[in-house]
Structure 1
Amino acid sequence: MKYMLIMRATDEAFAEMAAVDFDEMLKTVGRYNDELIRAGVLVAAEGLDDAAEGVVVDHSAEPPVVTDGPYGETKELFGGFYILNVASKEEAVEWAKRSPMTGPGFRTEIRRVTTIDEFPQDNEWVQRERAWREATGQL
């Protein structure tokens, strides 16, 4: 099963992290990533650019409203993610507990990634997506 570990932090936690030596941060995160790779569970991992560079598309109006970041109402931001292929939610939790992003203001949300196999296979759109995945080597 695949699980996404969503790395979240408050503005204050991001500010504290910015004060950490960049090479030291890369070494710390790199060690964690290496553990995931050696265990054979890492599928993907990426960080995200500063929220001030992002936008939000709000679909509650027609046409949708686009707003530049940062997002004043947000108490914590999604800063990056890992996708792990593990046997259970409990195993995903154990990996999240080992994350090097720790301390006040840091949280990891864990969500199972659903697969195309969980949708009705006789649906035209599911069949189209499956064909695309097969053609691109993603199945």
Structure 2
Amino acid sequence: MKYMLIFRADDTALASMGQTDFGKMIETVGKFNDELIRAGVLLAAEGLAEPDDGVVVDYSAEPPIVTDGPYGETKELFNGFYILNVASKEEAVEWAKRSPITGPGFKAEIRRVTSIDEMPQDNEWIKKERAWREATGQL
């Protein structure tokens, strides 16, 4: 099963991270990533650029409203993610608990990634997506 570990940090956590030596942080996260790779569970991992470089598309109006970051109402920002292929939610939780980026203001949300196999297989759009995934080697 695939699980996404979504890492969030509040302003306090981001400030404390800013005081950490970047080289040391890369080494620490690199060692964790190496553990995930050696265990054979890592499918993807990415960090995200600063929020002031992003935008929000709000669909509550027509046409949708695009707002530049940073986002004043956000108390926690999504800063990066891992996608793991593990046997259970409990295993995903155990990996998240081993994350080297911890402390007050840091959180990880764990969500199962649904599979195309869970969708109605007789639906024309699911058939088209399955064909595309097969053609691009993603299935």
TM-score (norm 1): 0.99
Q: Is residue 69 from structure 1 mapped to residue 69 from structure 2 by the alignment?
A: yes
Task: Kindly report which structure 2 residues correspond to 1:17-36, keeping only aligned pairs within 5 A, or say none.
Answer: 17-36=17-36
Tell me the equivalent position of 2:131: 131
Partner residue, 1:49: 49
Report the residue type matching 1:104 in the other structure.
P
> 1:113: Cα distance to partner?
0.1
Where does residue 12 of structure 1 map in the other structure? 12
Q: Aligned partners of 1:26, 1:58: CA distance in 2, in Å?
A: 34
Q: Per-residue CA shift, 1:81-104, capped at 9, x if unaligned?
A: 000000000000000000011000
Paired letter, 2:112? R
Between the aligned partners of 2:18 and 2:67, the Cα distance in structure 1 is 25
- The code of the aligned residue for 2:101 comes to M
Structure 1 residue aligned with 2:96: 96
Q: Structure 2 CA distance, aligned partners of 1:28 and 1:14?
A: 17
1:16: how far off?
Answer: 1.0
Deviation for aligned residue 1:18: 1.2
Listed as ranges, the gaps of 5+ residues in structure 1 are none
CA distance, structure 1, for counterparts of residue 11 and residue 65 of structure 2: 25
**4+ residue segments displaced more than 4 Å:** none
Aligned to 1:58: 58
Distance 1:13 1:45 in 2: 20
Could you tell me which amino acid in structure 1 is paired with residue 129 of structure 2? Answer: E
Render the CA deviation track for 1:5-40: whole Å, top value 9, x for unaligned: 000000121111011111100000000000000000
Give per-residue Cα distances to partners, 1:64-111, cap 9 Å, x unaligned.
000000011111000000000000000000000000110000000000
Give the secondary-structure state (helix, strand or coil) at the position aligned to 1:62: coil
Letter in 1 for 2:102: T
Q: Would you say how many aligned residue pairs link Structure 1 and Structure 2?
A: 139
Residue 114 of structure 1 corresponds to 114
